């Protein structure tokens, strides 16, 4: 245009010669023609814009719908030593543009043959809707599956790359790790924590997050050892389920947590199966005699009794409709130490009664056992408190019935008792700062509880003597709690448990083992009581995990005696 204007010969000043009249008219016609052409072009562009604006319709809406199919990019999850637990992998996902599909029958038939996991009826239904231009066909395809579909050459189908969570360790630590949904969004456990704390990012396509890995407190070596020993114990004692926990007594870090049967993070449906529910954090149980640790601690802390105090347990204790008896009545008064060693229900009930319901509730409240608790991975099942906390409830709670707790919450309370008396909160993250910690019992009470727990394992009369691991100074308390059923308690269905700690001279770790409905074997040394099953299982676990946790054997630490 500019060049055309320049090359038009214009009359020059002082030239004197006038252009021919025909030439001027020609120039004017050319100019008008050019302007007309430009106006026509502008009119065309304007008309097209108006048409697009007025038309609107499904085309524009469809083009917006597709990018909304986003997914979440998540940081890796590693264990306390940096070993990989979960990571994002880019995989192909297959989608369809319904308007570009030429032969629906062919697509459904060929996709059904290439990808057997796809529901043909569901696929037909979603692809038949021609008003839409986007529908997922299959997500998270392996490279081989994607190639198989690609070679079919079906029009209307296309791939997009998406992130999918991979769990290379399978079900190991599954309940703690949690799982994600089909959009890679966390729905349980530590995975949900990543979403709740903003560590997971919404992305279009396979954009990987630049955030560093999240380090769990979990030690996969310890987790595996605990799981293996519990699986063997579950088979050996024909238990319907088992659970175990290893907790750092000072920091509250959950080093290992197993609940059998396990839940596999790569199968989100496991989280909907009640049989695979997490028994440590997701269920509450009346834990039985392991609760006596709390009753004795309460008596010691309030100054109501010392370890040499004599309690007359010769007669059964009657309260309300119940008569409380001891499993093996000693037939003589017992000292507080012996109440613990013999696991006397009558003794624990009498001590609880002496201190009263208010003091009991206040003490349990101080340990954080009367209110709901949570970890970063989600809430722990809240405690089931008695509707009325009267005389009967005070007695039964004294020996572990009438108040149902999540085992994780109970283990945290025991850790607070044995670590010198400072309250800890269970955490799934490694290296979390515990902050200002509240004292729940005095250091003296904590030391006495440690002494009792160790005595229960080393003394010939102790119910926990089968938990002894000489080199690691295990201490603990057994519990055999009848499970509630219709119309009362089921005598032969029990939860056998052992809450322990090691090394007992300065406890570093708290362990909790639960066997659900163990069966009695044949011959001596077998039975359903915890001293015969949960205690020896704890010994095997401690023997195996203590070296992994760097706890030095006593004979090496102390040298030749």
Instruction: Write out the residues near another protein by the rule CB under 8 A.
Output: 2-3, 6-7, 83-85, 87-90, 166, 168-170, 172, 206, 208, 220-221, 224-225, 228, 232, 236-238, 469-472, 519, 521-523, 525-526, 536, 539-540, 543-544, 546-548, 552-553, 555-556, 558-561
Q: Is the Cβ of residue 235 or residue 318 nearer to another protein in the bound state?
A: 235
The least CB distance from residue 555 to another protein, in Å, is 4
For the chain, how far is it from start to end, CA to CA, in angstroms?
Answer: 106
Active-site residue 289, yes or no? Answer: yes
The least CB distance from residue 360 to another protein, in Å, is 38
3 state DSSP class of 487: coil
Strand partners, 201: 73
> Rounded distance, CA 325 to CA 315, Å?
8
Residue from 234, 259, 289, 446 carrying the catalytic annotation:
289
Q: Is the Cβ of residue 264 or residue 338 nearer to another protein in the bound state?
A: 264
User: Within its chain, how far is the Cα of 191 from the centroid?
Assistant: 7
The least CB distance from residue 386 to another protein, in Å, is 37
Q: Is the Cβ of residue 181 or residue 519 nearer to another protein in the bound state?
A: 519
CB 345 within 8 A of CB 338: no
The least CB distance from residue 553 to another protein, in Å, is 4
DSSP one-letter code for 209: P
537 sits in the region (left: phi over 0; alpha: psi -120 to 50; else beta) called alpha
> Rounded distance, CA 377 to CA 382, Å?
15
> Rounded distance, CA 494 to CA 482, Å?
4
> Rounded distance, CA 98 to CA 57, Å?
16
Task: Please name the helix (run of DSSP H) or strand (run of DSSP E) that holds residue 296, with its range, or none.
Answer: helix 292-302
Give the Å distances, CA to CA, from 538 to 332, 512, 521, 557. 31, 8, 18, 22
Q: Is the Cβ of residue 220 or residue 424 nearer to another protein in the bound state?
A: 220
Q: Is the Cβ of residue 37 or residue 170 nearer to another protein in the bound state?
A: 170
Phi and psi, residue 84, nearest 5°: -65, 130
The least CB distance from residue 7 to another protein, in Å, is 5
DSSP one-letter code for 206: S
The residue with tokens 């304007």 is 46
CB 418 within 8 A of CB 512: no
DSSP one-letter code for 213: P
Q: Is the Cβ of residue 78 or residue 297 nearer to another protein in the bound state?
A: 78
The least CB distance from residue 516 to another protein, in Å, is 16
Q: Is the Cβ of residue 164 or residue 279 nearer to another protein in the bound state?
A: 164
The least CB distance from residue 16 to another protein, in Å, is 17
DSSP one-letter code for 207: P
Angle formed by the axes of helices 292-302 and 345-366, nearest 10° = 70
CB 137 within 8 A of CB 111: yes
The least CB distance from residue 298 to another protein, in Å, is 35
Q: Is the Cβ of residue 88 or residue 326 nearer to another protein in the bound state?
A: 88
Beta-carbon contacts of 184 under 8 Å, excluding residues fewer than 6 positions away, are 71, 72, 73, 74, 88, 162, 163, 164, 165, 200
The least CB distance from residue 73 to another protein, in Å, is 12
Task: Please name the helix (run of DSSP H) or strand (run of DSSP E) that holds residue 294, with its range, or none.
Answer: helix 292-302
> Judging by beta carbons within 10 Å of its beta carbon (0-12, 13-18, 19+), is residue 104 exposed, middle or buried?
middle
Q: Is the Cβ of residue 239 or residue 357 nearer to another protein in the bound state?
A: 239
Q: Which residues are catalytic?
A: 289
């Amino acid at each position: 245009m500019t060049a055309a204007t320049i090359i038009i010969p214009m009359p020059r000043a002082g030239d004197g010669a006038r252009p021919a009249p025909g030439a001027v008219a020609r120039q004017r016609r050319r100019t008008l023609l050019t302007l007309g052409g430009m106006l026509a072009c502008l009119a065309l562009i304007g008309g097209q814009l108006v048409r697009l604006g007025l038309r609107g319709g499904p085309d524009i809406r469809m083009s917006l719908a597709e990018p909304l199919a986003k997914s979440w990019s998540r940081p890796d999850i590693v264990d306390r030593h940096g070993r990989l637990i979960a990571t994002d992998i880019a995989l192909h996902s297959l989608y369809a543009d319904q308007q570009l599909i030429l032969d629906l029958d062919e697509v459904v038939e060929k996709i059904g043959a290439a990808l057997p996991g796809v529901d043909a009826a569901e696929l037909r239904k979603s692809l038949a809707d021609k008003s839409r231009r986007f529908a997922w066909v299959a997500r998270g395809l392996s490279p081989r599956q994607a190639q198989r579909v690609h070679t079919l050459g079906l029009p209307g189908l296309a791939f997009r790359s998406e992130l999918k969570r991979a769990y290379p360790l399978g079900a190991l630590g599954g309940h703690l790790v949690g799982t994600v949904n089909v959009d890679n969004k966390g729905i349980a456990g530590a995975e949900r924590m990543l979403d709740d704390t903003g560590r997971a990012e919404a992305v279009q396509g396979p954009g990987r997050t630049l955030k560093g890995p999240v380090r769990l407190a979990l030690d996969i070596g310890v987790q595996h050892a605990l799981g293996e020993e519990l699986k063997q114990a579950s088979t050996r004692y024909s238990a319907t389920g088992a659970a175990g926990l290893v907790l750092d007594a000072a920091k509250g870090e959950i080093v290992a947590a197993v609940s059998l049967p396990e839940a596999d993070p790569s199968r989100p449906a496991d989280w909907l199966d009640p049989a695979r529910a997490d028994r440590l954090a997701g269920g509450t149980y009346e834990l039985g005699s392991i609760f006596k640790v709390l009753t004795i601690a309460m008596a010691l802390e309030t100054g109501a009794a010392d370890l040499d105090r004599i309690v007359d347990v010769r007669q059964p204790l009657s309260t309300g409709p119940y008569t409380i008896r001891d499993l093996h009545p000693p037939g003589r008064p017992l000292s507080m130490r012996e109440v613990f060693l013999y696991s006397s229900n009558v003794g624990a009930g009498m001590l609880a009664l002496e201190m009263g319901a208010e003091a009991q509730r206040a003490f349990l409240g101080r340990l954080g056992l009367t209110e709901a608790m949570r970890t970063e991975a989600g809430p722990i099942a809240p405690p089931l408190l008695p509707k009325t906390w009267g005389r009967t409830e005070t007695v039964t709670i004294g020996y572990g019935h009438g108040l149902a707790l999540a085992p994780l919450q109970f283990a945290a309370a025991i850790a607070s008792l044995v670590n010198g008396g400072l309250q800890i909160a269970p955490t799934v993250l490694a290296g979390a700062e515990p902050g200002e910690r509240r004292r729940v019992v005095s250091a003296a009470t904590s030391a006495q509880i440690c002494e009792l727990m160790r005595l229960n394992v080393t003394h010939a009369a102790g119910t926990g003597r089968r938990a002894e691991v000489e080199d690691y100074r295990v201490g603990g308390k057994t519990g055999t709690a009848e499970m509630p059923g219709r119309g009362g308690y089921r005598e032969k269905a029990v939860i056998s448990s052992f809450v322990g700690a090691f090394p007992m001279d300065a406890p570093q770790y708290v362990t909790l083992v639960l066997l659900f409905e163990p069966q009695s074997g044949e011959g001596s040394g077998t039975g359903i009581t915890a001293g015969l099953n949960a205690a020896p299982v704890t010994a095997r676990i401690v023997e195996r995990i203590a070296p992994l946790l760097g706890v030095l054997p006593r004979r090496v630490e102390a040298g030749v005696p």
